[in-house]
Amino acid sequence: MNYHSGMRFQRGRGLGSLFSGLMRGFAPLARMGLNAGKRFIQSDLVKGITNTALDHGKKAVLGMAADLVEGKNVKDAAQAQLNEAKKDIATQLRGGGRRRKKKPVKNYRNSKKLKFDLLEDGI
């Protein structure tokens, strides 16, 4: 009786087929994460934090140079500058966000109401 017995040894992609299936499932998640990260980096909050950090970096270098000229301890001067930068970045994080204007509350009691009289000959 003749029948198909198949190949004696498997010839195929092996482990590559397993990894390609994993990558097909992982790729959309990775793209979504990268897009979210890109939007976060371009946000006003991150821009404000980086500007604050750059400003404090410049102030720290100038302050440490002045302390070196005066003969103060470099480690203490650097620690003081770092603590000041931490405080300012923390206030930047707390104060972030867009402020919304409050809508004025309408007072319906004092508003003039139109009065119609059905019996009046105004028509």
CA 27 to chain centre: 22
C-alpha pair distances (Å), 98 with each of 56, 61, 95: 24, 32, 9
| Token pair recorded at residue 6 | 């198949």
Residue type (1 letter), 48: G
Q: Is the pLDDT of residue 110 over 70?
A: no
Give pLDDT, residue 117: 62
Question: What pTM, to 2 d.p., does this model score?
Answer: 0.47
Question: Could you read off the pLDDT of 51-69 as tens digits, one per residue?
Answer: 888 888 888 888 888 888 8
Radius of gyration of the chain (CA): 35
Question: Could you read off the pLDDT of 74-107 as tens digits, one per residue?
Answer: 888 888 888 988 888 888 778 755 666 777 776 6
| Token pair recorded at residue 90 | 């923390």
